[in-house]
Structures are given as C-alpha cells and as structure tokens.
Amino acid sequence: MALKNDTEVRYGTPAEFHGVKFQVPHATLEKSSYKRADEGEKQEPKSPPMSPICSPPASPSTYQRIAQSYGYGKARSGLEQQHGAPYEVRHSTHQQDGPSSGNYGAKSALTCSTPNRSLSVEREQQDSSSQYSDDPWRITEEQRDYYINQFRSLQPDLNAFISGSVAKNFFTKSKLPIPELSHIWELSDVDCDGALTLPEFCAAFHLVVARKNGYQLPETLPETLLPEYLQAACLKPVRDCALFDSYSEPLPSSQQTRDFSRAEKSSAEEVPDNSALLQDGKKDDKQAVKVSTTLKTIPKEFQHLTVKAAAQEPNAHRARPRSRSYSSTSIEDAMKKGEEPPTPPPRPQKSHSRASSLDLNKIFQQNTQAVRSGWLPPPPPALPPRPSVSQTEQPSEVELHPQMNRPPSQAEENSSAKKEVVLAQPPSKPARRKLRTEAQGLETPELSPTINVTSSLPAVKPHLPVQKQSSKQKRAIQTAIRKNKEANAVLARLNSELQQQLKEVHKERIALETQLEQLRPVTVL
Amino acid sequence: MAVCIAVIAKENYPLYIRSVPTENELKFHYTVHTSLDVVDEKISAMGKALVDQRELYLGLLYPTEDYKVYGYVTNSKVKFVMVVDSSNTALRDNEIRSMFRKLHNSYTDIMCNPFYNPGDRIHSRAFDTMVNSMMMQVC
C-alpha cells in the first residue's frame, strides 16, 4: 500500500511528468511489473524475455527523456497483472504461441486469440483490455491510427509500398542507432522485398517506438506485429482515418510545439483507462492502477462507456474519439523530436511555442473540455464545429490583429490550404516561428483549429501554463512581429538586389539586340 | 555441416566470417583467405564472355587432409566460402549446393535492408541464425 500511495503521489502531479523524477518511480515500477509481466507478456519463448524485460530499467539516460512512454508501455504491461483468470488463460495461450512465434505463424496466433473471443462477454471484455494492455508488442488503436497517418505522409496510397530509401530516411529520424534500425527492418520486412507495406510499416514503427521506450528488440517478430495479424486489424480503423486526415495533418506541424512527455503521458492514460474501465479486481501492480486513476485528466467521460461484447470494438470506439487528440501526440513527438535535426535548438522553442499556442487556446480549453465531455456521441461532427468556434472566439481574443476579422467560412476554406502550407513549410527555425505567428493569428486565424485541436492535449494538463499565458502570449506575439519584420526586411533587400540584376540583364539584352540589328541589314543587303 | 563459413566482398575483404569455436580459428581464416585465389582462378578461367553462363556454384575449391573448401560466387562477385570437415563424408554435393543457396538467399535478404550499406560487415541476427544452423554443433 505504501508503494501504491507513493506512486500515486508521484503520478498525481503532472508537472513531474516532465521531470526526471518520473523516471525513477517508473524504473522501480518497471522492475516489479516486468518481473510479473514477463511470464506471459511476450509472445516469445520464456527465456529471452527475462533479460529483455529486465533491461529497460537500466537503459541509458538517453531514454530517460522519453521515459514517459515507460509509463505507457509499462502501464500496459502492468495492467496485465490485474486480470485474474483471463490472465491465466492468456498466459496459456501465450505459451502456446511461444513456439510458433519464431515461425511467423500468424494462423496459430489468430486461432489462439479467437478462443479468447469465444469466451463469455466478461471474459471478452477482459481479454480485449488485456490484449491492449498486457503486450507491449500490441498496437493500440490510437497508435495504429498514428502509424497509418505517418504512412500516408510518406505514401498516399495505403495499399502501396514505402520504398526502402524512404523508410530508411524516415526511421533514421528516430535517432536510433543504425544496427538497431537494421534489426527492426529485418524483423518487420517479413517478405524481404526491401519495401514496407502498411502492416509492415506499422510493425516497424511500433518496434521503433518500443525501442525508444527502452524495450529490447525481440529476436523474432512478435505475433501481434505480423503483417497478417495487422492486416486484419488495420482494415478497421482505416475508415476512420478519413476523419483523422483533416485533423492530424496540421498536427504534425503544431506537434513541434508539443512537449513530448506530455504526449506520452496522455497516451499512457488511455490504455490504463481501457483496463480500468473493465477491471475491478486489481492485482499486484497497483502502480499501473494508480497510473490509470491518477493520471486521468481527460478521459473521465470514458468511464461511462459501456463495454460491448465485441472484443476490440469498445476499445476502438473509445480510442477513436480520444485518438483525435492523441493520435498525433501519442508517440509522434518521439519522431518529431527526431525529425527536427536540421533546426537549431528546437526544444526551447517548443516550450515557448507550446506556451504560446496554449496561451491562445486558454479560452478554448474550457470550450474544448466542454466539447470533449460531450464528445462521445458524434466524434466526426465534433471536428468542424470546433474550428468555427475557435474562429469566432479568436478575433475577439486577439485585438492586436484586426485583420483577422475575416468570415469564418473563408477562414475555414483557407484553413485547409494553410494546413498544407503548414505542412509544406520546411522545418527551419524562421519558418516555424512563422507558423507560430500564424498560429497566433498574425496572418491567419485558420491555424487556430490546429492549435485548438492540440489544445485538447494541453487540456490534459490545464494547470500547467495557464497562469503565465497572458504575458507569454504578448511576448510571443511581439517576438513573432519582430521576426516577421526581420524576414520582411531581408526579403525586401533581396528583392531590390534582384531588381538591380534584372535591370543589368535588360541592358545587356538591349545592347545585344542592337548589335544584332546592325548586323542583320548588312547581310540582307 | 560446415566448420567455417565466410562471405567475402567483391574487393576480397571479409564481410562475414564465422567458424566453429574450436582452438586455432585463425587457421580457418587463413584457409578462407588462401581459397580466394582459387576462386579468382575459377572465375577468370571462364572468361568475360561467359560471365552470364558461369555457374554460381564453384564446387570443391581444394581439399586438404582435414577439410574441404567449397566456393560459391554471386553475380556481384560476392563470394561465399565454406570449409567442411573432411571426416564428415556424408555431405553430398547437393547438400553443399543447398547450403550455398540458403546463404545466398539470406544474403539477398540482408541486401534488401535499406539500413545495410553494401560493403559493410554483416551484423544481421537472421543471418547469424541461419549460419548457426549450418555449422557443426560442437558439444
């Protein structure tokens, strides 16, 4: 109990999520949870998981920064302990699956998982949650949506391949060492064709995420990451991806402003929520329970969800609305942090810009919270109203920029264009500041929907920067103004230089033409 | 069952070499190195015009009293050299060919990995597993 209270205290203050303190309880928790989890968690033979599972706590300090996902993965592993009988059932199925895991035996995996689903409703519910939470190699819905969006950013056609070089560049951004990336590729490219299909890409991405979170890479591909397994699962959320497209595309740009740990924490909340909803009997790993109960800032409304009989439907259902806010943030920041190598120090900017983006949306937070509380019924319709809401609110908020008083419809029209512009902006520092300034409404209010959307995430921790928003907002706007002026000056100078060159070229051309004319009459005659 | 398996790059430096962990492993390394001469001889003997027709499997390169050395070269001049214990007389030519075929398939799988730069040493775990399966089991 003491441990439970301890971790409760530790998890209770979200501000600590960013601090190193979080990693310490995580490390201790992981050890205890892993020792229990390794029995049935991994699909592989039992002996290898012993060492991999125990190693993450000793992972290098580079992983400490992103140890938020420790909570995510660990909570998922820890929640496994909460299942009583179903856990044992899964334990046996896992053991069954162990020998077959090395053979890419998807069929055996699927048949082993189907007996779970054929159990009673309660069993199925528990199994669905356990399927989500006990296995770090299982891809959750929001993760899958995120992966699919990333796939789409690389390759618009979901049925086509991502070539090796494209995938290499993409995964290199994750800053994992090349041998590990090579191994991840080996594991995930099942047909060894040098290209990744969507399920292969999801598996590879998931392995990258797991590795960044400190999990040792398995020797063979876990069955939950097999392409056949993922193919069946991938088809389901694809239809929701259309909804997420408009949502998540602008998010990558504004994700630069996100704090990674906060995103991880939010994703960590979701999975405990799943099991917390379904499980009453908590077992040994109380810390994971505490993760679920105390980390909960957003998804209180999800506790009211009734778990349906279908194994993954409830989780998919719950995850879908939540993935609106989380899909971009769950593990995206891991990649985003890596995707900013060309920029000079991104992190200070991130904090600054996050505050600025939050500043603008302080007003929206209550709104979005209210929206999210009533989020459950129609997730899709919730999306359009929010931009309009932000549109109406933003002009009133930003008196500094009267040019923002445009009709919301036009703003919404431009929002899609702006989102593309946002995407197309190279990840350079002035460009990002421009984005921020745009976001702040210097140029357009259209980006406010993007920030509004991401503000759902700050709503996770509303108490973080609320107090300093007004001053930070003004400061941010002023710096944005300054930056824009500088950019304008530079561009004007460039323009004048180019005009000079143009004049000179014109003179030369005129001279040449006169020469030509002088010569021509001679020959004509 | 092989005693030593080596993958040699086109420039005749080893990309991968694995031998049964007995004493004096250096002897196998030396054997592989000297066998490269025989490989080159066999390749050049075909002549440039016959490159397309050249069979990939080179067969027995040279036997010694303790072991036999077999060779296999790919179309990109990557050579596989296998040292087999002579006492293991049960190994037929077909088996050697199949082992080389497996090696070649694993090598192409490694090549498909975009993170592998051709010319690097091979650190693939899948390749290691496959090679280990072909090596003699030392008790």
CB contact under 8 A, B112 and A183: no
Q: Give B10→chain A minimum CA distance, Å.
A: 22
Per-residue exposure over A258-282, b if at least 16 CB sit within 10 Å of its own CB, e if not: bbbbbbbbbbbbbbbbbbbbbbeeb
Q: What is the pLDDT of residue A170?
A: 87
Q: Which pLDDT value is given to residue B44? A: 81
A 10 A CB-CB count for A521 gives 8
Convert the pLDDT of each residue in A23-52 to its tens digit. 444 444 444 444 444 434 333 344 444 444
Q: What is the pLDDT of residues A74-114, one digit of tens each?
A: 444 444 444 444 444 444 444 444 444 444 433 444 444 44
- Mean pLDDT for chain A? 57
Query: Would you call B27 exposed, middle or buried from its count of C-beta atoms within 10 A (0-12, 13-18, 19+)?
Result: middle
Residues in CB range of A29: below 8 A, 6 or more apart: A7, A74, A78, A285, A287, A288
Res A315: pLDDT: 45
Q: Pick from B108, B112, B123: which is nearest to A189 by CB?
A: B112
Position with higher pLDDT, A159 vs A417: A159
CA distance A97 to A510: 81
More confident residue, A474 or A222: A474
- Do residue B123 and residue A168 have CB atoms under 8 angstroms apart? no
CATH 3.30.450.70 fits B1-132, yes or no: yes
Distance CA A280, CA A268 (A): 19
Q: Report the chain A residue with the minimal C-alpha distance to residue B109.
A: A192
Report whether A13 contacts A22 (CB < 8 A): no
- pLDDT at residue A415 in the model: 47
Summarised one tens digit per residue, pLDDT across range B19-38 is 887 767 888 888 888 898 88
Confidence of residue A203 (pLDDT cuts 50, 70, 90): confident
Whether B115 and A181 lie within 8 Å, measured CB to CB: yes
Chain B residue closest to A176 (CA)?
Answer: B115
Question: Following DSSP, what letter does each residue of B86-120 receive, concatenated?
Answer: TT-TT--HHHHHHHHHHHHHHHHHHHH-TTPPTTS
Question: How far apart are the C-alpha atoms of A427 and A23, rounded to whole Å?
Answer: 30
Q: Do the Cβ atoms of A30 and A70 come closer than 8 Å?
A: yes
Taking CB atoms and an 8 Å cutoff, what residues of chain A touch B112? 164, 189, 192-194
pLDDT at A451 over 50: no
Q: Could you tell me if A47 and A267 are in contact, meaning their C-beta atoms sit under 8 angstroms apart?
A: no
User: Are B114 and A185 within 8 A, CB to CB?
Assistant: yes
Q: Do B113 and A164 touch (CB under 8 A)?
A: yes
Band (B90; pLDDT cuts 50, 70, 90): low
Kindly state whether B21 is in contact with chain A, defined as any CB-CB distance less than 8 angstroms.
no
Paired tokens of B84: 């087999």
Rounded CA gap, A103 and A481, in Å?
60
> How many residues appear in chain B?
139
Buried residues in A244-253 as b, exposed as e (16+ CB within 10 A): bebbbbbbbb
In tens, the pLDDT along A329-362 reads 445 444 544 444 554 554 544 444 444 444 455 5
Contact assessment for residue B57 and residue B97, using Cβ atoms and an 8 Å cutoff? yes
CB pairs under 8 A between A and B: 37
Q: Which residues of A touch B123 (CB under 8 A)?
A: 179, 182
- How far is residue A356's CA from residue A350's CA, in Å, rounded to a whole number? 9
DSSP A97-115: HHHHHTTT-HHHHHHHHHH
Are the beta carbons of A182 and B113 separated by less than 8 Å? yes
Residues A445-464 have a mean pLDDT of 49
Band (pLDDT 50/70/90 cuts) for residue A273 is: very low
Name the minimum distance, in Å, from the CA of A196 to any CA of chain B. 11
Instruction: Name the region of A45 (left: φ>0; alpha: ψ -120 to 50; beta: rest).
Output: beta
**What tens digit of pLDDT does each residue of A157-189 get?**
878 888 888 888 888 888 888 888 888 888 888
Residue A306 zone, left/alpha/beta (φ > 0; ψ -120 to 50; rest) = beta
Q: Which of A178, A183, A194 sits opposite B125 (nearest CB)?
A: A183
Instruction: Give how far Cα A326 sits from Cα of A30, A97, A269, A466, B24, Å.
Output: 24, 31, 10, 21, 58
Q: Which two tokens stand for residue A69?
A: 């996902």
Spatial CB neighbours of A17, under 8 Å, sequence gap ≥ 6? A68, A261, A262, A264, A265, A461
How many Å apart are CA A461 and CA A68, to the nearest integer?
14
Q: Kindly list the distances between the CA atom of residue A180 and the CA atoms of A26, A98, A491, B8, in Å, as whole numbers in the listed order.
A: 24, 23, 44, 23
Bridge partners for B82 per DSSP: B5, B70
Q: What is the rounded distance in angstroms from the CA atom of residue A213 to the CA atom of residue A215?
A: 6
How much helix, strand and coil, in percent to the nearest 5, is found in chain B? 40, 25, 35
Instruction: Pick A185's closest partner by Cβ from B108, B115, B123.
Output: B115
Q: What's the predicted TM-score (pTM) here?
A: 0.41
Q: Name the residue in chain A with its Cα closest to that of B112.
A: A194
Which of the residues B104, B106, B109, B115 would you substitute to probe the A interface, choosing the one with the greatest number of A C-beta atoms within 10 Å?
A: B115
Q: How many CB atoms lie within 10 A of CB A12?
A: 13
Q: Is the pLDDT of residue B84 over 90?
A: no
Chain B residues whose beta carbon lies within 8 Å of the beta carbon of residue A179: 123
Sketch the domain layout of chain B as residue ranges.
1-132
The Cα–Cα gap between A286 and A280 comes to 12
pLDDT at A505 over 90: yes
Structure tokens belonging to residue A394: 């933003």
Task: For B128, name the nearest residue in chain A, comparing CA atoms only.
Answer: A219
pLDDT band at A367 (very low <50, low <70, confident <90, very high): low
